[in-house]
Chains A and B, each alone.
Chain A
């Protein structure tokens, strides 16, 4: 079993829909990252969380440390949101451990 599990693996939505991507992890962590990878391969860091909730524009990330779970929400989705979204955790004192990613496609 992977230390980091994401769901769903693939997600197709219509423009304007509310999207949720989930991440569960099995180890104690000091932080959790949400990353976005576009088809060309470039990766952008969206959020780094250690507790609570963060919001940036249409993106919201939450984390529940006790339940070892985080969610990434996208409100009013747009085709330009189409990308792979990757959850990564930092097990205490260790290195980033990545989930397999969620491929999101938003159709116009």
Chain B
């Protein structure tokens, strides 16, 4: 069974640009979670999607947004990139909701210069 996949693996962008990160969950999983891990910092919750709806959102500005598609894959969009957006962005999936174990993808490392 394929695990959670993310693309791209690495990305370099310039301040002010926009970026889209992609995540494909494990087959059968309907929940997708996005997390940010800035260098030297802990994991921070970004977004939770389930059945195409945004269920919860972390303390991030509106320029962080996303969506979940009918096939349960998800995109994370970051507009007007700032230097502090440089981080590892991790996606995880689970069966519907927080009562189930989360399986993490390998992450996308974003560098903003």
A7 → chain B closest CB, angstroms = 14
Question: Is B42's CB within 8 Å of the partner chain A?
Answer: yes
Question: Is B104's CB within 8 Å of the partner chain A?
Answer: yes
Q: Mark A37-58, 1 if CB is under 8 A from B, else 0.
A: 0001111110010000000000
Question: Is A98's CB within 8 Å of the partner chain B?
Answer: yes
* Beta-carbon contact of B58 and A95 below 8 Å: yes
| Residues of chain B contacted by A94 (CB below 8 angstroms) | 56, 98
Q: How many residues of B contact A (CB 8 A)?
A: 23
- Residues of B bordering A, CB below 8 Å: 33, 35, 37, 42-45, 48, 56, 58, 88, 90, 92, 98-104, 106-107, 109
15 pairs of residues in contact across A and B, judged by CB atoms under 8 Å: A30-B98, A30-B99, A33-B101, A41-B109, A42-B107, A45-B103, A48-B101, A90-B98, A94-B56, A95-B45, A95-B56, A96-B33, A96-B35, A96-B98, A100-B42
